[in-house]
Amino acid sequence: MANKITPQEITKKIFGTELSGYKIESVNNFLDKVSIDLEYYINQINDLEKSINKLNDLNKKYADDISMYQKAINKLHEENKQITKEKLSDFNVIKSIEEIRETLREIKEKI
């Protein structure tokens, strides 16, 4: 990759003259404009790189948050499954007790 030129190098560049060369003042004016534009673009690139870095940091934070929330959701899901099993077991016990009571009533009625 070629060496990067700086705005200062553009403004400090001195060209030799010949008989049929360009007007030095015009060249210098143009180089001043190029230098200003180059400096602007360099600043824009630096600002955009800073923005990219900030967004990458935010993205990592959000990815970490999502991972944490997903783990919490999975834990709650497992707890919910366990509670559901316990409640179902309790329901089955209650149902069995009610069936036993009903059977006892039927036996009492027959006696």
Q: How far apart are CA 71 and CA 38, in angstroms?
A: 49
- Note the pLDDT tens digit of each residue in 44-58: 999 999 999 999 999
Look up the pTM and report it: 0.57
Q: Mind listing the pLDDT tens digit of every residue in the chain (111 residues)? A: 457 888 888 888 887 777 778 888 888 899 999 999 999 999 999 999 999 999 999 999 999 999 999 999 999 999 999 999 898 888 888 889 999 999 989 888 887
pLDDT at site 1: 46
| Chain position carrying tokens 């935010």 | 58
Write down the residue that tokens 């900030």 correspond to: 54
Q: Hey, where are the domains in the chain?
A: 7-13+20-110
Asked if residues 31 and 13 have their Cβ atoms less than 8 Å apart, the reply is yes
Instruction: Give the residue among 28, 25, 26, 24 at the shortest CA–CA distance from 10.
Output: 28
CA atoms within 13 A on the CB side of 69: 6
**For residue 5, what pLDDT is reported?**
84
